[in-house]
Amino acid sequence: GRLAIVGMGYIGLPTAVVLATRGIDVIGVDINPATVAAVSRGEVPFVEPDLAVAVSGAVAMGRLSATSEMPEADAFIIAVPTPFNGDRTANLSYVQAAAEQIAPKLRSGNIVVLESTSPPGTTEKIAEWIGALRPDLKMPHDGETGADIFVAHCPERVLPGRIMIEMITNDRVVGGLTKRCAERAASIYRVFAQGEILLTDAASAEMAKLVENAYRDVNIAFANEISLITESLHIDVWEVIRLANRHPRVNILSPGPGVGGHCIPVDPWFIVAAAPKLSPLIRTAREVNDRRPHHVAEQVAEKAKRFREPTIACLGLTFKANVDDVRESPAIEVVGLIAEALPNVDILLADPYVDSLPSMLSGYSNLRMEGAYQAVERADIVVLLVEHEPFKAIRNTRLGGKVVYDTRGAWR
């Protein structure tokens, strides 16, 4: 069979490569010519463990290619971003554009799978968008048989930094517009998935994915709130969590400078938008987590008052540890807030995964990238924002006599 994957990003490319490695002919489709060119050369435009070698292998074997034109195929997987609009509703324009590019290529028997995280009802909309352009094809409807094409939602659930492992080992939820749609879509994932494949309806699959990320957000918000409370009572939050977590039914997550990435800070809002009056907890968790970077920046400004002309080192810029992704990074927000609050203070930034000053910070003249050791050496105040593995070694030798603000508990 031949399979087209629309969107060669953090999800589409790894999915493409695991299918290609198992003998499927995969064509990656992307609107970005630089991405198409990179994948065509067997290169990966971002860092993810074990991905690069798999992509170069699959391209060399002739199983994986990339293009900007939608090809014909037996199955289509949509893995494009679903960012959010200013009003915190989902922006489905990329999903709609993908569906409308797929529509003219469809033949009877084809499968269309949405992997992008989407609000309830989106899979249904895909069938509507396609149906509007292809009145000759019978779309799948609940309770009816004899559809010409099959439409399903199979949300991705892989963790950045562990994508290649989790892609294979995670259980998968496959929700079809009909039972037959779910079964047909599941046949794609059976090619590589070692986890269980759970068949359901499309709306349940959409909601399950959103609920997973809202669950994590609410739990991180809980940890962040505990952190605020213990801080005000001069109690060490890490000690409290360590002790509480020795209870057999308690598993508190880690407080930090905020919740970043392109999923967890966004997806809970799709739930809130779908049922605004019924989601006070989910909304409040979002607000608690969004407030974190401000709190951390305020604490740093407070510590800076003890010095006449302090130098501040901020370690870590990415949205979490051991990845190179700076999108929606709370660390960057913290640095921006400090730079703004303390315009006359030198702020040194270090991150082994980031080579140059991220564009979001280019407006501040008091920021400079440095090696981590030099930054710590020169600083009066050291702020740990991301617990990258290489930073852990810094603690023993280098921090003596400095004001240390470890927002991740990595140097305890």
Count of residues that interact with ligand SAJ, criterion CB under 6 A: 21
Among the listed residues 131, 175, 260, 336, the single contact to ligand SAJ using CB under 6 A: 260
28 contributes a contact to ligand SAJ by CB under 6 A: no
* Residue with Cβ nearer ligand SAJ (63 or 408): 408
Beta strand 172-176 with 197-201 is parallel
Task: Report the alpha-carbon distance of residue 279 to residue 109 in Å, rounded.
Answer: 40
Q: What residues act catalytically?
A: 209, 263
Q: Where are the beta strands (DSSP E) in 48-157?
A: 64-67, 75-78, 111-114, 150-153
- The answer to whether residue 240 forms part of the interface with ligand SAJ (CB under 6 A) is no
Among positions 133, 137, 203, 253, the unique one binding ligand SAJ when judged by CB under 6 A: 253
Q: Binder to ligand SAJ among 39, 130, 259, 345 (CB under 6 A)?
A: 259
Of positions 82, 110, 116, 117, contacts ligand SAJ by CB under 6 A: 117
For residue 29, the Cα-to-chain-centroid distance in whole angstroms is 20
Where do we find the tokens 């199979």? 154
Specify which residues 5 forms β-bridges with.
Answer: 28, 77
Cβ(204)–Cβ(230) below 8 Å: no
Query: From the CB of 267, what's the least distance to ligand SAJ, in Å?
Result: 6
Q: Given CA atoms 30, 34, 40, 44 in this order, what sign does their dihedral have?
A: negative
Q: Is 216 in the site for ligand SAJ (CB under 6 A)?
A: yes
Q: Which residues contact 369 (CB under 8 A, 6 or more apart)?
A: 348, 349, 350, 351, 354, 355, 356, 357
Whether the CB-CB separation of 384 and 316 falls below 8 Å is answered with yes
Counting contacts by CB under 6 A, is residue 263 touching ligand SAJ? yes
User: What is the β-pairing status of strands 150-153 and 172-176?
Assistant: antiparallel
**Near ligand SAJ by CB under 6 A, which window of 61-69, 70-78, 259-267, 389-397?**
259-267
Of 80-88, 191-199, 210-218, 357-365, the window that binds ligand SAJ (rule: CB under 6 A) is 210-218
Give the Cα separation of 58 and 47 in Å (integer).
Answer: 17
Q: Whose Cβ is closer to ligand SAJ: residue 100's or residue 212's?
A: 212
Nearest-approach distance from CB 223 to ligand SAJ, in angstroms: 6
Q: Judged by CB under 6 A, does residue 261 bind ligand SAJ?
A: yes
DSSP 349: E
Q: Which stretch binds ligand SAJ (CB under 6 A): 49-57, 131-139, 213-221, 279-287?
A: 213-221
- Tell me the residue length of the chain: 412
User: Would you count residue 228 as binding ligand SAJ (CB under 6 A)?
Assistant: no
- Considering the rule CB under 6 A, would residue 160 count as an interface residue with ligand SAJ? yes
Q: Which amino acid is present at 40?
A: S
Interacting residues with ligand SAJ (CB under 6 A): 117, 156-160, 212-213, 216, 220, 253-254, 256, 259-261, 263-264, 319-320, 330
